[in-house]
């Protein structure tokens, strides 16, 4: 695993994020030396979705209203159906995501997470893996949908589902190590 010591990673979520798509990548990032922060429009806690039922509640580290993209080096967008569907309707969440793409910072997205990438206007011309039901949405947004465990396109790494998390984590950490210079805020 690459060393990403000191890298500040925002994990943007709302209620209904797929729990394993936050917890396992976060664990990998933390073990590699990153400092991860859950950012959310909701506070003080967000609740995960554990495949077919509600999951654990996790503390929000930074409320979205107070989160500044310039204080982070990279962004992770977990999936789940409810989470990105809610985030893409939240203008501040979309602006937060767009700021990472505008700055050329690395972004990791899995499952239904690309909905927020589409809403931020950052999908066009990219190769993106996702949950299969997003294939048409991605194509309509000008992206090429890819059925692979982990796809890197520029500053974006994407993946299809929880089964892909080991490959996703490796690709995410590699991308973050190559592209993410630690922020000194």
User: Which residues on neighbouring strands pair with residue 74, listed in sequence order?
Assistant: 9
| pLDDT at residue 35, rounded to an integer | 97
Look at residue 31 and tell me whether its pLDDT is greater than 60.
yes
Confidence of residue 183 (pLDDT cuts 50, 70, 90): low
Average pLDDT over residues 12-37: 97
Instruction: Name residue, tokens 């209904």.
Output: 16
Check the CA dihedral 20-25-129-134 and report its sign: positive
| Model confidence at 182: pLDDT above 80 | no
The number of beta carbons lying within 10 Å of the beta carbon of residue 161 is: 19
Any idea of the CA torsion for 127, 131, 137, 141, to the nearest 10 degrees? -20
Catalytic one of 8, 112, 126, 160: 112
Longest dimension (CA), the chain: 40
Q: Does 112 qualify as catalytic in the annotation?
A: yes
- Domain positions in the chain are 8-179
CATH number for domain 8-179, candidates 3.30.70.980, 3.40.50.300, 3.40.50.1370, 3.40.50.880: 3.40.50.880
150-176: average pLDDT = 98
């Amino acid at each position: 695993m690459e060393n990403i010591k000191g890298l500040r990673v925002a994990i943007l979520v709302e209620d209904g994020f797929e729990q394993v798509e936050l917890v396992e990548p976060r664990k990998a990032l933390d073990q590699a030396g990153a400092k991860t922060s859950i950012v959310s429009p909701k506070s003080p806690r967000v609740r995960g979705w554990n495949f077919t039922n509600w999951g654990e509640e996790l503390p929000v580290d930074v409320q979205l209203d107070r989160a500044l993209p310039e204080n982070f080096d990279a962004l992770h967008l977990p999936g789940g159906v409810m989470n990105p569907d809610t985030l893409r309707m939240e203008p501040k969440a979309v602006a937060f995501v767009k700021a990472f793409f505008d700055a050329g910072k690395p972004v990791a997205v899995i499952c239904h997470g690309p909905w927020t990438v589409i809403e931020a206007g950052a999908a066009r011309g990219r190769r993106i893996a996702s949950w299969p039901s997003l294939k048409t949405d991605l194509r309509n947004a000008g992206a090429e949908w890819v059925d692979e465990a982990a796809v890197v396109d520029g500053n974006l790494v994407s993946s299809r589902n929880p089964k892909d998390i080991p490959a996703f984590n490796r690709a995410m950490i590699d991308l973050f190590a190559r592209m993410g210079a630690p922020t000194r805020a």
